[in-house]
């Protein structure tokens, strides 16, 4: 039986630095847990443009379609701002999402107890928080037609179209119910059925799919009310499913409940492949942070947690994913902090590499 395959795309800015720490974790699992991956590496974003004149080479796209999972660092940087829109680094990321048909974007918002003070909310509101937002990623207002800026009379008008088919709603709803079944069996669907026909259809389809999951407690909430409730008492939620636009907004809002973008992973999942595993790409939520690139200041935890999500959702290694998450929790509890996590004066941050080494040591201690 062949080893599971993983394509690593470090990308730009701090991407290569944080991905180097993930490589330490991957090597540890191979050496200490006999969990060996066939790892290949390639270019994406600005790095790919510098080498090939395109943010994603066709050969790289073909590799991404063949492997069990893709792990991406970050793309972009100010040196690429002058490029034509069609070849900007972000187009490489969007092409991966679109051509792999990664329709379900999983954005966890988890607050480690050691970092509860970093949230803008009261400690008791966020301590122990562990929710999952599932954002539909390949349709909705970001892709609907017609779209553009047009002349209308004596002025211009900007048009974007919110469009969803029943099948697009059904597949992300079903993925969300399946996820809820593996968690606390609670799912809240958020839309704007009070003012949008697409929201009415969304609610109808989610309700219909819910009949196949009688064990899951399904609720519906208008997305604006959902934003308010996320900041009032986020622990009332477990899994939230919503469309592309609202998911973009709500997941960023939930992200900041935890205190630092450097702590947040994500997964984008598609339809099952021949081996039964979903097509998948995992990436930290943070950007390429060119202002600190190459200085050893980046927090690698979000990228490492993205690999933990890959262990859980692509490789059926839930226990090992939990082992890695608990190692990170232990390191934070011991006081290790990269620069973005320093909330008090008089403490020296650990480097990107030192944080990775500490997590490896905590993994050793878990055996």
Binding residues for Mg(2+): 224, 248, 252
- Binding-site residue ranges for substrate: 97, 107, 135, 224
Active site residue 222: no
- The encoded tokens of residue 107 equal 């954005």
What's the rounded Cα separation, in Å, for the pair 11 and 63?
Answer: 16
Question: Which of these is catalytic: 243, 248, 313, 336?
Answer: 248
- Give residue for tokens 């999402």: 97
Q: Would residue 224 show up in a list of annotated catalytic residues for this protein? A: yes
Is residue 212 annotated as part of the catalytic site, yes or no? Answer: no
How far apart are alpha carbons 305 and 365 in whole angstroms? 18
- Please state, in angstroms and rounded to a whole number, the distance separating the CA atoms of residues 316 and 321: 9
Q: Is 142 an active-site residue?
A: yes
* b/e sequence 246-257, b meaning 16+ C-beta within 10 Å: bbbebbebbbbb
How are beta strands 69-74 and 278-284 bridged, if at all?
Answer: parallel
Question: Which residues belong to the annotated binding site for NAD(+)?
Answer: 77-90, 287-299
- CB atoms closer than 10 angstroms to residue 145: 9
Among the listed residues 27, 50, 130, 252, the single catalytic one is 252
Q: What is the C-alpha to C-alpha distance for residues 181 and 192, in angstroms, rounded to an integer? A: 25
d(CA 222, CA 87): 37
User: In this structure, is the dihedral angle defined by the CA atoms of residues 64, 65, 70 and 72, taken in order, positive or negative?
Assistant: positive
Q: Where are the alpha helices (DSSP H) in 190-338?
A: 197-210, 223-232, 244-257, 301-313, 318-333
Q: Are 162 and 223 contacting, i.e. CB atoms less than 8 angstroms apart?
A: no
Q: Which helix (H) or strand (E) holds 5?
A: strand 5-11
Catalytic residue from among 42, 68, 192, 213 = 192
Binding-site positions: 77-90, 97, 107, 135, 224, 248, 252, 287-299
Terminal Cα-to-Cα distance of the chain (whole angstroms)? 26
Q: Which of 142, 185, 186, 222 is catalytic?
A: 142
* Catalytic residue numbers, as ranges: 142, 192, 224, 248, 252
């Amino acid at each position: 039986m062949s080893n599971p395959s993983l394509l690593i795309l470090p990308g730009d800015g701090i991407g290569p630095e944080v991905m180097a720490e993930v490589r330490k974790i991957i090597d540890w699992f191979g050496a200490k847990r006999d969990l060996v991956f066939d790892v290949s590496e390639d270019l994406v974003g600005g790095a790919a443009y510098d080498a090939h004149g395109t943010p994603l080479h066709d050969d790289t796209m073909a590799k991404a379609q063949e492997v069990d999972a893709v792990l991406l660092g970050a793309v972009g940087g100010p040196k690429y701002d002058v490029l034509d829109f069609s070849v900007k680094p972000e187009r490489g990321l969007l092409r991966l999402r679109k051509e792999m048909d990664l329709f379900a974007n999983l954005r966890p918002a988890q607050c480690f107890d050691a970092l509860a003070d970093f949230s803008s909310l009261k400690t008791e509101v966020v301590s122990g928080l562990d929710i999952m937002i599932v954002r539909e990623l390949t349709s909705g207002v970001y892709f609907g037609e017609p779209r553009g800026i047009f002349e209308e009379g004596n002025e211009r008008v900007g048009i974007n179209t919110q469009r969803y088919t029943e099948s697009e709603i059904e597949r992300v709803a079903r993925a969300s119910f399946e996820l809820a079944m593996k968690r606390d069996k609670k799912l809240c669907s958020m839309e704007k059925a009070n003012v949008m026909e697409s929201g009415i259809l969304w609610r109808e389809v989610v309700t219909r799919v819910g009949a196949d999951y009688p064990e899951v407690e399904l609720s519906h909430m208008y997305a604006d009310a959902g934003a308010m409730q996320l900041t009032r008492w986020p622990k009332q939620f477990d899994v939230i499913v919503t469309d592309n636009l609202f998911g973009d907004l709500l997941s960023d809002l939930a992200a900041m409940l935890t205190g630092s973008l450097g702590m947040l992973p994500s997964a984008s999942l598609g339809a099952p492949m021949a081996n039964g595993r979903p097509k998948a790409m995992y990436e930290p939520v943070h950007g390429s942070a060119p202002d600190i690139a190459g200085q050893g200041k980046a927090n690698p935890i979000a990228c490492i947690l993205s690999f933990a999500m890959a262990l859980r959702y692509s490789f059926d290694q839930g226990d090992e994913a939990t082992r890695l998450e608990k190692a990170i929790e232990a390191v934070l509890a011991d006081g290790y902090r990269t620069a973005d996590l320093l909330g008090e004066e008089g403490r020296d941050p650990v480097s990107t590499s030192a944080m990775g080494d500490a997590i490896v040591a905590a993994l050793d201690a878990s055996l």
